[in-house]
């Protein structure tokens, strides 16, 4: 995992896939991020991704 430090207003770019992550604000232990990405790039919070994986494992396999 790449770990980067950024201050409020600074950005991280992932040019190969057209993604920009900007630190919008920092208040205590909460950070607000803005994520700019092409429509074909899905962006999910980690807990939503985990939930999707769990639901996919529970779905019966046709056949």
For residues 13 and 35, is the Cβ–Cβ distance under 8 A?
no
Q: Quick check: is 17 in a domain?
A: yes
Count the domains in the chain.
Answer: 1
Phi, psi of 32 (to 5 degrees): -100, 125
19 lies in which domain range?
11-58
Q: Quick check: is 38 in a domain?
A: yes
Q: Quick check: is 6 in a domain?
A: no
Q: Quick check: is 5 in a domain?
A: no
32-42 pLDDT per residue, tens: 999 999 999 99
Q: Quick check: is 18 in a domain?
A: yes
Q: Quick check: is 3 in a domain?
A: no
5-45 pLDDT per residue, tens: 999 999 999 999 999 999 999 999 999 999 999 999 999 99
Q: Quick check: is 25 in a domain?
A: yes
**Model confidence, pTM:** 0.74
Q: How are beta strands 30-36 and 19-27 bridged, if at all? A: antiparallel
């Amino acid at each position: 995992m790449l770990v980067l430090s950024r201050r409020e207003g600074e950005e991280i770019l992932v040019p190969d896939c057209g993604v920009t992550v900007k630190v919008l604000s920092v208040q205590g232990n909460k950070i607000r991020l803005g994520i700019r990405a092409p429509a074909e790039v899905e962006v999910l919070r980690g807990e939503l991704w985990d939930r999707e994986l769990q639901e996919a494992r529970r779905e019966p396999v046709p056949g």
